[in-house]
């Protein structure tokens, strides 16, 4: 058991397949170890997945794609005050921020200081700004929470703080089209009046997108349509097109996404097929869909790497951005959790259509599935946390230095993002900030 129960209580859970089946259960024993054992001491089934081998063929191809798609050529030209090239100038190239979006879900209410100690709040904010350049509110932008007007200042304050701290924000979500996930009085009151319900939803989209206009990178317009379709059952499938159009009118610049689970994770083929069909329908109907969200909440079964790339190929074929929106792995097997985190991140970073990788939380003290966190309650990193930091801030991070040649140039190749360039010669120095795009850039440092 992974949590404490009151006397006389208990729970046994069985995870079954997705299709209809007959099972027989027997031979269950409950053994009380008292205080002689910890949960970590108990046996568990070690995970595995295809493509985990160090020599797996996908690895070389992924590294080649990363080199091609996630790096650019940077040339530094050092000149003196007269405009002449400076030879043997010392040049330092220091990466400051990724161009790729590495993100996490954050609890807006906690950022407002409502739930944590001052120490935990300060540490959480520090970790968010050090580890990520992208974020999403875990719940606060969802319709039921946003409908509580007293909570809006805290939510907006959290968004503003993130942006001011250099962490961009995505919106989640405008329409989660079922009554169980949209228990909002205005919508429930219009349940038996399709025209009124359609207006309530459109008004909500317009009001919410307008409130956050200019503050967000993208919005999940619709969330989880396969398992949440009450609104479409009443209004018809075309209502989804109307929702995208309303979102575009509310914020003409933000990228608009559809989002769902069991797409890269799991074996729910009907779910995956329905998602592809829904996306195709929206595009065919002229809905302004900019991106496709792939949640990626992994349970004990991990998608083999070859299959993972096939699924990415399937949704990339629509010609839209892809985003890993809610990644986590819920398991006690921390070794395989770290291995798959490394391989999944590598696959995502290598894939040209993927623009962001977002975890659904990172700290055990604030995670819907605590075993999926990458930092423990005491803020120490788990193996998957070490993997994340090693990839994002070491392997996929560029710092370079050297001296200029006869033409006063120093050239290197770096990961896309923001850089600080420093040139020194003859007791003079110059620092220049530059953004490195995929097609490369040339920066001039004049020593005056």
pLDDT per position as a tens digit, 122-176: 999 999 999 999 999 999 999 999 999 999 999 999 999 999 999 999 999 999 9
Which residues, 6+ apart, have CB-to-CB distance to 39 below 8 Å? 1, 2, 332
Whether 209 is covered by a domain: the verdict is no
Q: What is the pLDDT of residues 173-185, one digit of tens each?
A: 999 999 999 999 9
pLDDT band, residue 34 (cuts 50/70/90): confident
Q: Is the distance from CB of 168 to CB of 135 less than 8 angstroms?
A: yes
Token code pair at residue 354: 């993927």
Residue 33 has pLDDT above 80, yes or no: yes
Kindly tell me if the per-residue pLDDT of 437 is higher than 50: yes
14 vs 250, which has greater pLDDT? Answer: 250
pLDDT tens, position by position, 372-404: 999 999 999 999 999 999 999 999 999 999 999
- Which residue range forms the structural domain that includes residue 88? 1-132+261-448
Residues in the chain: 448
pLDDT at 1: 40
Residue 81 has pLDDT above 70, yes or no: yes
Distances (CA, A) of 109 to 93, 124, 135, 439: 39, 13, 14, 41
Please report whether residue 198 resides in a domain.
no
Query: Above 50 in pLDDT, residue 213?
Result: yes
pTM over 0.85: yes
In-domain check, residue 138 = no
Domains contained in the chain, number: 1
Cα gap 434→168, rounded to integer Å: 19
Q: Where does 149-304 have alpha helices with state H?
A: 152-164, 185-189, 194-211, 230-235, 239-250, 269-284
* Structural domain contains residue 277: yes
Residue 189 lies in a domain: no
pLDDT over 90 at 300, yes or no: no
Q: How far is CA 297 from CA 72, 212, 324, 344, in A?
A: 32, 27, 10, 12
pLDDT value of residue 4: 64
Residue 369 falls inside a structural domain: yes
Tell me if 141 is assigned to some domain.
no
Give the pLDDT score at 140. 96
Q: Is residue 324 part of a domain?
A: yes
């Amino acid at each position: 058991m992974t949590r404490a129960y009151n006397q006389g209580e208990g729970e046994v859970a069985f995870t079954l397949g997705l299709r209809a089946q007959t099972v027989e259960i027997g031979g269950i024993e409950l053994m009380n170890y008292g205080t002689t054992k910890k949960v970590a001491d108990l046996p568990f089934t070690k995970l595995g997945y295809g493509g985990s081998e160090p020599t797996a063929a996908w690895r070389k191809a992924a590294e080649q794609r990363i080199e091609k798609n996630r790096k650019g050529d940077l040339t530094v030209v050092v000149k003196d005050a007269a405009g002449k090239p400076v030879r043997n100038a010392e040049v330092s190239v220091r990466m400051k921020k990724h161009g790729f979006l590495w993100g996490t879900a954050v609890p807006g209410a906690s950022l407002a200081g409502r739930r944590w100690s001052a120490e935990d709040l300060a540490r959480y904010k520090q970790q968010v700004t050090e580890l990520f350049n992208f974020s999403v509110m875990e719940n606060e932008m969802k319709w039921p929470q946003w409908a509580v007007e007293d909570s809006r200042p805290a939510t907006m304050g959290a968004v503003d703080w993130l942006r001011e701290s250099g962490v961009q924000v995505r919106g989640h979500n405008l329409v989660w089209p079922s009554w169980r996930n949209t228990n909002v009085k205005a919508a429930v009151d219009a349940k038996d009046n399709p025209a009124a319900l359609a207006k309530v939803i459109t008004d909500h989209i317009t009001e919410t997108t307008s409130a956050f206009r200019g503050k967000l990178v993208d919005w999940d317009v619709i969330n989880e349509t396969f398992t949440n379709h009450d609104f479409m059952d009443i209004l018809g499938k075309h209502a989804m097109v109307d929702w995208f159009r309303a979102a575009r009118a509310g914020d003409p610049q933000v990228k608009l996404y559809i989002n769902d689970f069991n797409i890269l994770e799991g074996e729910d083929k009907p779910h995956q097929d329905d998602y592809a069909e829904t996306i195709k329908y929206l595009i065919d109907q002229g809905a302004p869909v900019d991106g496709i969200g792939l949640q990626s909440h992994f349970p004990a079964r991990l998608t083999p790497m070859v299959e993972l790339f096939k699924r990415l190929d399937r949704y990339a074929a629509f010609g839209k951005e892809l985003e890993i929106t809610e990644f986590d792995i819920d398991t006690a097997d921390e070794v395989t959790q770290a291995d798959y985190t490394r391989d999944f991140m590598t696959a995502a970073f290598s894939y040209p259509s993927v623009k962001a990788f977002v975890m659904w939380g990172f700290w055990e003290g604030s995670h819907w599935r605590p075993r999926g966190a990458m930092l423990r309650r005491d803020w120490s990193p788990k193996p998957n946390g070490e993997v994340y930091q090693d990839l994002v801030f070491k392997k996929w991070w560029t710092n370079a230095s050297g001296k200029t040649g006869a033409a006063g140039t120093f050239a290197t190749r770096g990961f896309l993002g923001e850089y600080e360039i420093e040139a020194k010669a003859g007791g003079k120095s110059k620092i220049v900030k530059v953004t490195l795009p995929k097609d490369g850039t040339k920066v001039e440092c004049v020593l005056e």
